[in-house]
Every structure is written in C-alpha cells, then in structure tokens.
Amino acid sequence: MVGIFYFSHMKLTDEQYKQIADDLLCGMVVIVEKSNGNVDSYPAGIGDHLMFDEENPYQDIIDKVENNWQDYIEISPMQSSESFNIMERFADSLDEGELKKEAFQALQRRRPFRNFKDLVEYSDHREKWFEFQLQEHIEYAKRHFVEDVED
C-alpha cells in the first residue's frame, strides 16, 4: 500500500518523498508547488559556480519560485550539523563491535565527514548506511512540509 500524505490542498506519495530525499542527498534545493504537489529542484548555490557571462540553466525555476514564493514549499539541503547527527545516529544503531567503535572514532577526528564516508564505504554496512540516510532525509522532508503548512 502506498502512503499518501495530505498537506493543505497538496498530497504527496511515498515515491515523491523518496524523490525529494534523493534530490536533497544530491545537494539540490527542492521546491514543491502547494496547489498540485509538483516537485522540481535545482542545485544549491548554482549561482556561485557560473562564469559571469554564463546563463543559469535553472533560472526559470528560480524566477518562478521567487516571483510566487507563497505558492511553493522550498526545502534546502541539510545543514552539516544535521548531517553529522545522522551519522551519529547510524553509528549508534550498529551492533556493538569494531565498526561501531571505529565509526564513533571517525566522527571525533578531524574531517569527520570524510573519515565516516571512507569507513562506511568499504564496510559490509554500506547499503544499510544508504538506506538509513535516505530514510532520515525522507523524515526531514516530511518535517518541512508539516512546518510550512502549519505556518
């Protein structure tokens, strides 16, 4: 059974939440049109990476949202502190053992994101990490909708 979540006049499916989470994980800003639930996205900080004469391929989306901001819910990628908390929760969810110990040590050293990624990337828990991270981003997206609709 596919879950459907209702917010104001909008309904989103589990598959739409997964799409939103995937886009957020790729560093995209996600926008959802309140009236119909259409989902679109563009790279966060795209303007910082363009040459002065280069045209922004996402400008139409950005302009549409800026000119009618009240018609959209915008979700930016997580702050690094939130991403760090996800890594901690994942490490905490691991069974007692060497990997759990190494994961917490990786998070305490300099460059915790790189250390954690390198550790998990080459472990038997790689797929478990990706699924955990995806579920956390789905919950993050759902929280943003609830907050936006209640405002």
Residue-wise pLDDT tens digits, 92-132? 999 998 889 999 999 999 999 999 999 999 889 999 999 99
**In contact, 73 and 141? CB cutoff 8 Å:** no
Low-confidence ranges of the chain (pLDDT < 70): 1-10, 46-54, 146-151
Q: What is the pLDDT of residue 55?
A: 76
**In contact, 132 and 90? CB cutoff 8 Å:** yes
Quote the CA–CA distance of 103 and 101 in Å, as a whole number: 5
The H or E element containing residue 149 is helix 126-150
Q: At 137, which amino acid appears?
A: H
Q: What is the pTM of this model?
A: 0.81
Cα–Cα distances in Å, from 40 out to 34, 74, 84, 104? 12, 10, 26, 36
In whole numbers, what is the pLDDT of the chain averaged over residues? 85
CA 113 vs. chain centroid, Å, equals: 16
Handedness of CA 88, 92, 95, 101 (dihedral sign): positive
